[in-house]
Amino acid sequence: MRELGADHIIDFTAAPTMDQVRAAHPGGIDAVLDLVSGPGEPNPFAALLRPGGVLVSTNGAADPELLPTQGRTGVNFYSNATRHDLETLAGLAADGRIRVRIDAEVPLAEAPDAVARARTGQASGKTVLVT
């Protein structure tokens, strides 16, 4: 992550993420990009925000009506990628301008095990299914 520009890294395997963020930033943080909470679940990451902070969820877990009552903003972000968008991304990857970390290449028959492993947080990158 430092290679990608991160100043501070939270290791979710060392201790609960929430506790580490609170310890490092007792006054709260400005923004959270939540890639893990699901829609309809209480979003614990909102409590990490300082007043005026923004929670962005890619899974529909931000409550844009509740958060303003707490002095925060919530946005649910969805991608509607077009063929052109995907071709552009593929070109950037082919040119080496986008790097994707591959954690494992597994046969299609092992996909359920690979998904289960990723859900436990043990994957350190993307899993590629091969036939």
Tens digit of each residue's pLDDT (9 = 90 or more) over 44-73: 889 999 999 999 998 888 988 989 999 999
Phi, psi for residue 74 in degrees, rounded to 5: -125, 135
> pLDDT per residue over 66-117, tens digit each?
899 999 999 998 888 899 988 998 999 899 888 888 888 999 988 888 888 8
Three-state secondary structure call for residue 126: strand
Q: Give backbone dihedrals phi and psi of 105, rounded to 5 degrees, phi first.
A: -115, 120
Residue type, 92: L
Region of 18 (left: φ > 0; alpha: ψ -120 to 50; beta: rest) is alpha
Structure tokens of 90?
Answer: 């593929």
Sheet holding 49-57, edge to edge: 29-34, 49-57, 73-76
